[in-house]
Structure 1
Amino acid sequence: MNWVMVAIGGALGSGVALLVLRRPSRRRLLLSTAGICGALGVFSAYPYLPAVTAPITVGFLGSASSMILVAAAPPVWLGTDSILRSGLVVARRLAVYCAVGATFALAGYLAVRAGTTFYVKVLR
């Protein structure tokens, strides 16, 4: 049953990949990275139904993150002198996407945890 859930998540991530890659721009890729990583943070902290949310999240992120890594930094090989420059551009873009992803994953995780704690401590 877990493999079916991972496959469903992968299909959802592929759908998002098709939508984002129709007209890829730096802004669109950065916003999709933030949204996908924020969803990772939310689903990883969601305390109810972990048997359902965990495999879907793994499948979704498995396909969506590969889409972003492929589209984020297309290498431009112009000659032997530009290999170092192209490598630095790819590394810089990847560092920016990783920083944005980690920030939004943490924000999503903390939002769900704070909401759950508030509900348990105050509203219950």
Structure 2
Amino acid sequence: MMWGLVGLGGAAGTALGAFVLRKPSPRRLLVSTAVVCGLLGVCSAYPYVPIMTAPLTFGVLGSAASMIAVGTAPPVWLDRRSIRRSTLAVIKRLAIYCAVGVTSALFGYLAVRAGTTLYVKLR
């Protein structure tokens, strides 16, 4: 059951990645990464039915990593300076995607936790 949910999440993430990469642009990739990671942060903090949300989250995360890897600039290997330049460009883009993803996931997680805490305290 659990591996089926992970596979289902991976299929959903792959379909989302294929949809986003139809017309790749830096802005579209960053926004889609932020939305996917924010929703995954929400799913990880959601207190109800964690046995279903956790495997789906892991499946989408696994395919989101491949979406980001495909979305980075393809390296050009011509000479020594090109190798260094393209490696630095890929590292910079991956760092930006990771920073946006982590920030969005943390924001989604904290939004659910803060809302749950506020609901419990006001009840």
Query: Shorter-chain TM-score category?
Result: over 0.9
- The match for 1:104 is 104
Secondary structure (helix, strand or coil) at the match of 2:85 reads helix
TM-score normalised per structure 2 = 0.95
Deviations 1:66-96 (A, max 9, x none): 1112212321223232111111111111111
Question: Who is 1:113 aligned against?
Answer: 113
In the other structure, the counterpart of 2:57 is: 57
The code of the aligned residue for 1:94 comes to L
The one-letter code of the counterpart of 1:4 is G
Deviation readout 1:11-31 (Å, 9 max, x if unpaired): 110110110110111011101
Inter-partner Cα distance in structure 2 for 1:107 and 1:76: 36
The sequence identity of aligned pairs, in percent, is 65
1:101, 1:78 → 2: CA distance?
Answer: 32
How is 1:19-38 mapped onto 2 (pairs within 5 angstroms)?
19-38=19-38
When structure 1 is superposed on structure 2, of 78-87 and 90-99 the one drifting more is 78-87
Q: Distance in 2 between matches of 1:100 and 1:109?
A: 14
Normalised to the residue count of structure 1, the TM-score between the two structures is 0.94
Cα RMSD, aligned residues only: 1.0
Structure 1 residues not aligned, in runs of 5+: none
Segments of 5+ residues of structure 2 without an aligned counterpart are: none
